[in-house]
Amino acid sequence: MSRNSLTLDPFNSSANSGLEPVSSRWNRFKNSFKPAQEDDPEFGSNVFVSKLQIKVDDEELTDLQRAAIKSSKTQLSSQLSLRHLLMIAIGATIGTGLFVNSGAALNTGGPASLIIGWCIVATMIYPTLMALAELCVAFPVTGGFITHATRFVDPSFGFAMGWCYAVQWIVALPLTLVAAAITIRYWRQDINSDVWVAVFYVFIFLLNMLHVRHFGETEVFFGVVKLLAIAGFFILGIVMICGGGPQGGYIGGEYWHDPGAFANGFKGVCSVFVTAAFSFAGSEVIGMTAAETEDPRQTIPAATKRTFWVITLSYTIILILIGCLVPWNEPRLTTGDSYAAVSPFVISIKNAGIKGLPSLMNVIILFAILSVANSSVYATSRVLSSLADIGFAPSFLGYIDRTGRPLYANLVTFFFGLIAFVAASDKQSEVFVWLLAMTALSTIFAWVGICGAHIRFRLALKQQGRTVNELTYVAPYGIYGSTYGIIMNFVVVMGQFWVALFPGSKADAKAFFEIFLSLVLFIVLYFGHKIYKRNWKIWIRLSEVDIDTGRKHFDIELLKQEIIYENERVAASPWWYRLYKVLC
């Protein structure tokens, strides 16, 4: 038989189906771990890589200039679309905070405090995310807001904020793996928790070894499951409030009168306010995806707006229902050996006498936890990679392979994930209390960094004789929105200070340091960097701020015509579509 006749052999499946031979697929898999190539037609690279002719190792460059150039020469795969960004942010944000911890917040503050706390915090998060969108559209660089804070505020601030943020997500992986193992206890308490930790560890590892686009698709799946669960509970909650459950009658607003709308007075409101602030942690992850986005100008603003509305409406609507379905003095909100046992969702379903649904709700909680674990690996690896790019971490962490994975940063992330195997230890709680203590305020540092970088960027534009007319996306509230964001973040810290120092009627030093140890870590990193670099400037002079390196350049005149056309099209649309375009 001739060699060519093999292509006609009906038993040669690879020839007839057009599929690659196994050996070819295996070679492709092996080659995917090789370093990314700037001009590789298969794997690609960001459009501005080939346009930067400056050498990073030029001795005449300062550390800050070198960092700006290197962060703009990313070789991460730019294949994330709008739905990927939206679901990654939702995956990082909506988890046990909504499905489990909302019960503890209800017990602490009462149903009215839930609504007040989340609505006030929402007014802070919106301008923060809009400022982030403006910066990421103009500078879609690796590291997102960490790089922005380093370039526009101060390298020492960027160093401290970046490492605090990295530690936050490093801790998140083992914590969520343990949480997933605890969730299984609802069905099986006889199996060692470390068995489930191992299963989930391998599962998350395999997901993050996929191409970035495939990773995005898994986040879409997790996100859709959570959104369907929220929509389903919304309908079920209304039915239960109206007395449609097998047990119990009409509830209405009964629990707002007895035991009441507030618990623990003003201190309860402050406690819920702080809890609400941290429930939005993860929404800023969109800033870490800028360098991997297909079309930052269109995608990032839409993703940030929709992320905000999805998260805000999900929390607000569901918490209103929870406040009507479960009294704040319900003892089961604080006692139980699994997440389902203390989840207000499960408690309300059990109170209505609905069988089967508590187990389904526990499955959804498990999916939510695994989604956060998946997002935590993504966030950690991108943060570590970006810290390496700007010279704040060992250079090997900046290694990007041909599929756009920060390979070594991923492996380091999973190395720290092994901490999860303390799940079977009786010291588990103590270990995680102090690990979380190092990260308690990290999100606040990140939000302040975003707002601060935005203010400094706008001031630098003005100082250097430039205007916002050259920006392709402008945050609607400008400097005023970012200033409000910083002020509200300090209000959150002050509220956290009061609640942490006086968790009861007397001061408690242990409870205080469980929250404010992260501030100590930030201060040590900040001044440690200043001493090492001998940089005693509080911030970079506005005249010295680099507002060009890494900028995403467009044909401004052509862009203006596109914007005019888009505005005319929207103006001719129905009112509801115009409102939708403003909000989303």
Rg over alpha carbons for the chain, rounded to the nearest Å, is: 25
Residue 293: φ, ψ to 5°: -100, 140
Q: Within 10 A of 480 (CB to CB), how many other CB atoms are there? A: 11
Q: Give a yes or no: residue 68 inside a domain.
A: no
CA angle 436, 440, 445 (to 5 degrees): 140
8 A C-beta contact, residue 229 and residue 240: no
Residue 363 in tokens: 């499955």
Q: Which residue reads 């629990």 in tokens? A: 255
CATH number at residue 457: 1.20.1740.10
- Whether residue 550 contacts residue 561, with contact meaning beta carbons closer than 8 Å, is answered with no
Question: Rounded distance, CA 397 to CA 484, Å?
Answer: 36
Q: Nearest-CA neighbor of 342 among 324, 360, 326? A: 326
In sequence order, the β-bridge partners of residue 401 are: 35
Q: How many domains would you assign to the chain? A: 1
Asked whether residue 38 is assigned to any structural domain, the reply reads no
Residue 45 lies in a domain: no
Range of the domain at 461: 75-553
Q: What is residue 256's DSSP assignment?
A: I
Q: What is the rounded distance in angstroms from the CA atom of residue 179 to the CA atom of residue 555?
A: 49
Asked, for residue 450, whether it belongs to a domain, the answer is yes
Instruction: Give dist(CA 204, CA 210) in Å, integer.
Output: 10
**pTM assigned to the model:** 0.84
The total of other beta-carbon atoms located within 10 Å of residue 234's CB is: 16
Token pair 């007075």 in the structure block, residue: 265
Is residue 66 situated within a structural domain?
no
14 lies in some domain = no
Cα 525 to Cα 345: distance, rounded to the nearest angstrom: 41
At residue 90, the 3 state secondary structure works out as helix
DSSP-assigned letters across all residues of 302-360: HHHHHHHHHHHHHHHHHHHHHHHHS-TT-GGGS--SSHHHH-HHHHHHHHTT--SHHHH
* Distance of alpha carbon 344 from alpha carbon 130, whole angstroms: 32
Report helix, strand or coil for 384: helix
Q: Degrees (nearest 5) of the Cα angle 173, 178, 179?
A: 95
How far is the C-alpha of 392 from the C-alpha of 389, rounded, in Å? 8
Per-residue pLDDT of the chain (584 residues; tens, 9 = 90+): 443 443 334 434 444 444 456 557 667 666 666 666 654 444 444 333 333 444 545 555 666 666 666 666 665 656 677 777 778 788 778 877 788 778 888 888 888 988 888 888 899 999 999 999 999 888 887 778 888 898 899 999 999 999 999 998 898 888 888 888 888 887 877 788 888 999 999 999 988 877 766 777 887 888 888 888 888 889 998 998 888 878 867 888 888 888 888 888 788 888 888 778 878 888 888 877 776 777 777 788 888 888 898 888 888 899 999 989 989 888 888 776 667 778 888 888 888 888 888 888 888 888 888 888 888 888 888 889 888 888 888 888 888 877 777 888 999 999 998 988 887 777 777 777 777 777 778 889 999 999 999 999 999 999 988 888 888 888 888 899 999 999 999 988 888 787 777 666 566 677 777 778 888 889 999 999 999 988 888 888 888 888 877 666 555 566 666 667 777 777 777 777 677 666 66
Distance CA(124)–CA(117), nearest Å, equals 11
Domain assignment present for 6? no
Burial of 416 (0-12, 13-18, 19+ CB in 10 A): middle
Please indicate, yes or no, if residue 56 is contained in any of the structural domains. no
Task: Tokens for 134, please give them.
Answer: 């403006």
